[in-house]
Amino acid sequence: MIYVTNPKTVITETRIALKNLGKINPESIDDYIFNGGYQAIAMALEMQPNAIIDEIEKSGLRGRGGAGFPTGSKNRFTSLSCDDCERFVICNADEGEPGTFKDRIIMENDPHLLIEGMLISAYAVGASIGYIYIRGEYDLSISLLQKAIHSAYSRGFLGKKIMKSNFSFDLELKIGAGSYLCGEELTLLESIEGKRGYPRIKPPFPAEKGLFGKPTLINNVETLSHFPAIITNGSEWYSNMGTEKTKGTKIFTLSGNVNNPGFCEVELGISLYSLIYDFGGGIKDGKSFKGALLGGAAGTFVDSSMLDAIMGYDKLKERGATLGSGAIIVFDEDQSVYDLLFSVLRFFQHESCGKCIPCRIGTTQILMLMEKLKNEHNKKDILAEILYESEMMAKTSLCPLGQSPVLPIRSAIMYFENELIKNNQ
């Protein structure tokens, strides 16, 4: 384990996904190997695939993309879905949740770590082909990954009979073209298949029927970046970190009205206060903290009564908030909650794919109601209508996009109802 303290901050970081940050040249495979790179896959290749899944399961690692699903179970489902069939592993690098840039930091600083994580997951579930689906705007990440894949092939870490074992694995980069929804795992599959980004109906889940109808394991960049360390150090080492139900570390990305916006990787269990004040240096221009949006647009608003909240999937859920992608968007006393909520809802309307009616019409309807809220007097009724509308969408929409607006809406009302009703914007 490596402890790094950023001179700007007084918190202690525990870096796993960012262990090589600033220590290696991301373009150099030699640097990566010199720092212990590709040793985890060498160890993994000596193990039975099932034993790797056991280790991941025991580590308590949960998906870092936002949903927090137990990673080990997902691996297990994919490996058990058929006896001897073709399977795929996919890395979801379509990072697009507003306020989130953790995956970009990993890919720009340590692309080989992601490749090694994919190798381990592919060997564990018996896949011989993998894809990294990355958003088209991440130009630097794309070129660094392309370079890294190329050098991994030339050194025999990708391709046929990897490190003289019987394991072969081909890895290809697939580049998105500007669609938030393609970060949703089933929509991502459609996009890799060369189609419009329309979500599929679940079930079947990807572990059963994924890419080209074959069992597919999809993991986020940050999740995969934890695989090598878990194999090297063991599941017990990993599960000693974090909270009771949310193990390990997480990268948080802090933005908005703070003195030091940026990212840090810390053990789960840190308080929101510590992230905003100790790491973020507090609120800019001597103003006071009004609230934060946790987890991005598909996340929840909180106010100062939540500053003591412990960051962990379950701990936050108990208090009605979400950890999501790890985005923390901070706003000060002068920020209008109405404006911020409007911006979040405009985002959903723009990114709604239009396939299912509740989301296509609902996201537009809600924006119209938001306009009404600004201009008309019966604000309390209009606010109730907005909430009702978003709850209907949550119940009837096909995919997480339509199910999400209720989160920021409900929490904005919970903490800032008075302001939303009073507001004379």
Partner 1 sequence: MKIMTEEILLKYKPQKNNLLQILHEIQTEQPHQYLPETELRKVSKYLNISMSSVYGVVSYYTMFSIKPRGKFIVRLCQSPVCDMLGSQLIANKLKELLQIDFNETTSDGLFTLEFSECLGLCANKPSMMINKQAYTGLNVDVIELIINDLRNESKNSDN
Contacts with partner 1 by CB under 8 A lie at 95-101, 103-104, 136-140, 174-180, 191-197, 253, 255-259, 261-262, 284, 293, 296-297, 327, 329, 331, 335, 339-340, 343-344, 347, 350-351, 353
**Cis previous bond, 199, omega within 30:** no
Which residue, 29 or 353, is less far from partner 1 as judged by CB?
353
Four-point Cα dihedral 225, 309, 96, 216, nearest 10: 50
Pairing of strands 216-220, 129-134: unpaired
Residue 235 or 300: the one with the smaller Cβ distance to partner 1 is: 300
Compute the least distance from the CB of residue 56 to partner 1, in Å: 27
| CA angle at 194 for the pair 190 and 198, rounded to the nearest 5° | 35
- Give bridge partners of residue 277 from the DSSP assignment: none
Tokens 């370079």 label which residue?
A: 147
Of 197, 167, 198, which is closest to residue 89 (Cα–Cα)?
167
- Could you tell me how far CA 46 lies from the centroid of its own chain? 30
Tell me the closest approach of the beta carbon of residue 198 to partner 1, in angstroms.
Answer: 8
Token pair for 411: 């929490």
Residue with tokens 């003195």: 259
Q: Which CB atom, from 48 or from 343, has the smaller least distance to partner 1? A: 343
C-alpha dihedral, 323 to 12 to 308 to 297, nearest 10°: -30
Please say which residue, 316 or 327, places its beta carbon nearer to partner 1: 327
CB of 259 to partner 1, least distance (A): 8
**In the complex, least distance from residue 355 CB atom to partner 1, rounded to whole angstroms:** 11
What is the Cα–Cα distance from 305 to 316, expressed in whole angstroms? Answer: 13
Q: State in angstroms the smallest separation of the CB of 136 from partner 1.
A: 5
Which of 38, 180 has the CB closer to partner 1?
A: 180
Min dist CB 213 to partner 1, Å, is 13
Shortest gap between Cβ of 66 and partner 1 (angstroms)? 14
CB of 359 to partner 1, least distance (A): 15
Contact in structure between 221 and 91 (CB atoms under 8 Å): yes
* Distant-in-sequence, close-in-space partners of 384: CB < 8 Å, separation ≥ 6: none
Number of H helices, E strands in the chain: 18, 11
Q: CB nearer to partner 1: give 189 or 270.
A: 189
Complete DSSP assignment for 293-305: EETSTTSEEEEGG
3-state secondary structure of 271: strand
CB closer to partner 1, 99 vs 126: 99
Least Å distance, CB 38 to partner 1, is 27
Nearer to partner 1 (CB atom), residue 180 or residue 277: 180
| Sheet of 249-256, strands arranged across | 262-267, 249-256, 327-332, 289-294, 300-303
Question: DSSP letters of 49-71?
Answer: HHHHHHHHHHHT-B-TTTT--BH
- Between 59 and 253, whose beta carbon lies closer to partner 1? 253
Residue among 209 and 245 whose Cβ is closer to partner 1: 209
CB of 189 to partner 1, least distance (A): 10
Cis upstream peptide for 203 (omega within 30°): yes
